[in-house]
């Protein structure tokens, strides 16, 4: 979490002032959401998505612009494609850091959907908000065998075990005093689906040999 520059901190303080004022005056509303996947067959009921992370942040044109730029260049290259999920998380965390440093930590609201795919956030100050939600799907894979020549020359070797699909929903919403704002998360309004590889550090043989305990009469 980086320390914002003075100009960034001042801008963040000005941005959050109306939200803090609304919170102090109890000018708040409720945000509810329903996450449902497509049914396996036409006559079956929709599938509730449990465990979707839902985050509300005071609306920032800068953050929205950064996210839109990442999406626009998502398929420009393999590098942007594989790094999209980390870049999205990085942009979000940087903005959260600005809010924390500027005294707006209480404005960061988060919840997860329950077994019925429902989520509810109470006492949300009125105003514009940026909603970011995401769901992870594990895709297990078979670990590749280490090349013997690589194992001899390196101690820690990244080995891919599989990957995760991250489905993002990002939307701009308006919260009004005493009202409930309802949003829907489904398979048709996903904002972006990215990939994150799961890796571990494989052990190269010569640099990772366990240290054997010394024996009596032998020099360790």
Tell me the pLDDT tens digit for each residue of 165-182.
999 999 999 999 999 999
Residue 149 within any structural domain of the chain:
no
The three-class DSSP label of residue 116 is coil
Residue 204 within any structural domain of the chain:
no
Residue 32 within any structural domain of the chain:
yes
CA angle 95, 128, 100 (to 5 degrees): 30
Residue 214 within any structural domain of the chain:
no
Q: For the chain, how many structural domains are there in total? A: 1
> From its phi and psi, is residue 163 left (phi > 0), alpha (psi between -120 and 50) or beta?
beta
Global pTM?
Answer: 0.78
pLDDT of residue 163: 72
CATH number of residue 87's parent domain: 2.60.40.10
Residue 35 within any structural domain of the chain:
yes
Residue 73 within any structural domain of the chain:
yes
Residue 212 within any structural domain of the chain:
no
User: In whole angstroms, what is the distance from residue 172 CA to residue 214 CA?
Assistant: 65
User: In whole angstroms, what is the distance from residue 165 CA to residue 52 CA?
Assistant: 13
Q: How many whole angstroms from its chain centre is CA 209?
A: 38
User: In whole angstroms, what is the distance from residue 168 CA to residue 171 CA?
Assistant: 10
β-pairing, 109-112 vs 53-58, is: antiparallel
Tell me the pLDDT tens digit for each residue of 122-177.
999 999 999 999 999 876 656 556 566 555 555 555 555 667 899 999 999 999 99
Residue 216 within any structural domain of the chain:
no
Q: Which domain holds residue 171?
A: 6-140+164-197
Q: What stretches of the chain adopt beta strand conformation (E)? A: 28-37, 47-48, 53-58, 109-112, 118-125, 127-140, 156-175, 180-185, 192-203
């Amino acid at each position: 979490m980086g320390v914002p520059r003075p100009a960034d901190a001042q801008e963040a303080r000005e941005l959050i002032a109306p939200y803090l004022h609304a919170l102090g005056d109890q000018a708040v509303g409720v945000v509810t959401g329903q996450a449902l996947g497509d049914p396996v067959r036409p006559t079956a009921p929709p599938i509730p998505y449990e465990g979707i992370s839902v985050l509300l942040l005071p609306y920032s044109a800068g953050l929205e612009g950064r996210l839109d730029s990442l999406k626009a260049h998502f398929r420009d290259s393999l590098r942007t494609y594989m790094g999209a999920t980390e870049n999205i998380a990085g942009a979000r965390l940087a903005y959260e850091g600005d809010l924390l440093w500027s005294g707006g930590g209480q404005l960061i609201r988060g919840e997860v959907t329950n077994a019925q795919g429902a989520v509810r956030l109470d006492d949300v100050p009125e105003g514009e908000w940026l909603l970011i939600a995401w769901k992870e799907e594990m895709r297990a894979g078979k670990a590749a065998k280490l090349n013997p020549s690589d194992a001899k020359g390196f101690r820690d070797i990244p080995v891919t075990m599989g990957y995760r699909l991250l489905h993002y929903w990002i939307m701009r919403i308006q919260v009004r005093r005493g009202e409930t704002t309802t949003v829907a998360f489904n398979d048709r309004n996903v904002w972006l689906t990215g990939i994150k590889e799961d890796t571990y550090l494989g052990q190269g043989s010569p640099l990772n040999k366990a240290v054997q305990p010394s024996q009596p009469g032998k020099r360790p």
